[in-house]
Amino acid sequence: MTVPTLWLDDISVGDRFRTETYELGAEAIIDFANAWDPQPFHLSEDLARDTFFQGLAASGWHTAAITMRLLVTSGLPLATGIIGASIDLAWPTPTRPGDRLHVDLEVTDVRASRSDPSRGFITAVYDTVNQHGEIRQHTTARLLAFSRP
Amino acid sequence: MTVPTLWLDDISVGDRFRTETYELGAEAIIDFANAWDPQPFHLSEDLARDTFFQGLAASGWHTAAITMRLLVTSGLPLATGIIGASIDLAWPTPTRPGDRLHVDLEVTDVRASRSDPSRGFITAVYDTVNQHGEIRQHTTARLLAFSRP
């Protein structure tokens, strides 16, 4: 686990971070779906076969949760944590059993708050990618960050 | 659990859906955070006290997962399931222990695909709201839907 040490002052446009890797299998996909997104295409290979996904696919929220876990444990070591203000998400392709995912992140904007210069917002654009380079999730996040005290 | 029966043809701008309710406590917040978003403000009341959140707050991804569960089990009975193409999310206030959440959804756009009239996109705007009317998540979702075969 990366020790979070970076303040708003330490982050610049163009900074890049790459996380470690997270592998998921069919059982993990089904467990997550039973808890949070119990739809046929996330619950079993048999039920998924004749759906839009043509086979078992992870819930997009599972991919989003894995993405967050990767960023928190190995991706973006902000001293005060990763606090999302707003997020845009897209899932260009479904996450599949056997995917080994990592996240590639780039900072595209950094600005201090006008009303309170002790805080500001970082815009980060990141892709959640499998071992074949297939993009499973594309995210733009506006994150709250704080200046070094 | 609502039986999903609605096709693209059955959905109109202005249609509204309201889900059942989901209550979460501190233990559920901490369990989810340990799995997916292990940051101090999501892991214990003690660790959270001196953070931006000033007390235990659910991961935004936990609120998103609850929102999806509510929509799938009681919210939006699309015949072919709820398939998100892209999503915009914001968390105006943090979800707290003791929140009883439901989702209020309104359809704001329905359009058939030009290239393939058997499918189309529904835009839905929805709020995840607690028992005091506090909005915990605001979502705009572009959902893939299919015409009645």
Residue of A83, A116, A138, A139 best to disrupt the B interface, most CBs of B under 10 A: A83
pLDDT score at B148: 92
User: How many other CB atoms are there within 10 angstroms of residue B110's CB atom?
Assistant: 20
B9 touching chain A per CB within 8 A: no
pLDDT surpassing 60 at residue B1: no
Interface touch B90/A90, C-beta < 8 Å: no
pLDDT tens across B73-106, in order? 998 899 999 999 999 999 999 999 999 999 999 9
DSSP category for residue A55:
S
In this prediction, residues B67-77 reach a mean pLDDT of 94
B65 close to A35: Cβ distance less than 8 angstroms: yes
- Indicate the burial class of B3 (C-beta count within 10 angstroms; 0-12, 13-18, 19 or more): exposed
Q: Which sequence spans correspond to the domains of chain A?
A: 8-146
pLDDT score of A92: 96
pLDDT at residue B127 in the model: 98
CA A143 to chain centroid, in Å, comes to: 13
Q: Give the CA count within 13 Å in the CB-facing half-sphere of A41.
A: 20
Least Cα separation, residue B38 to chain A (angstroms): 7
Domain at B8-146: CATH code: 3.10.129.10
Establish if A61 touches chain B: CB-CB under 8 angstroms.
yes
3-class DSSP string for chain B: CCCCCECHHHCCCCCEEECCCEECCHHHHHHHHHHHCCCHHHHCHHHHCCCCCCCCCCCHHHHHHHHHHHHHHHCCCECCCCEEEEEEEECCCCCCCCCEEEEEEEEEEEEECCCCCCEEEEEEEEEEECCCCCEEEEEEEEEEEECCC
The pLDDT of residue A1 is 54
Q: For A1-15, what is each residue's pLDDT tens digit?
A: 566 789 999 999 999
Among A37, A86, A87, the residue with its CB nearest the CB of B68 is: A37
Give CA torsion, residues A26, A31, A37, A41, to 10 deg. Answer: 30
CB contact under 8 A, B85 and A90: yes
Q: What is the ipTM of this complex?
A: 0.95
- Whether residue B90 and residue A87 make contact (CB cut-off 8 A), yes or no, is yes
A137 touches chain B (CB under 8 A): no
Distance, in angstroms, between A91 CA and closest chain B CA? 6
pLDDT of residue A149: 87
Q: What pLDDT is recorded for position A2?
A: 60
CB contacts < 8 A (A, B)? 92
Encode pLDDT of B19-28 as tens digits: 999 999 999 9
Cβ distance of B36 and A90 shorter than 8 Å: no
pTM assigned to the model: 0.96
Which secondary structure element, helix H or strand E, spans residue A36, and what is its range? helix A26-36
Q: B142 near B86, Cβ under 8 Å? A: yes
Q: Each residue of B100-149: pLDDT tens digit?
A: 999 999 999 999 998 998 999 999 999 999 999 999 999 999 999 999 98
Residue B40: is its pLDDT beyond 60?
A: yes
- Pairing state between β A100-112 and B16-18: unpaired
Q: Which residue has the tokens 């709201």?
A: B129
Chain B interface includes A22 (CB < 8 A): no
pLDDT the model gives residue A54: 95
pLDDT at B91: 97
| pLDDT given for residue B34 in this prediction | 98
Over range A40-69, report the average pLDDT: 96
Per-residue model confidence (pLDDT) at position A117:
85
Mean pLDDT over A75-91 rounds to 94
Which residues of chain B have a CB within 8 Å of the CB of A89? 84, 86-89
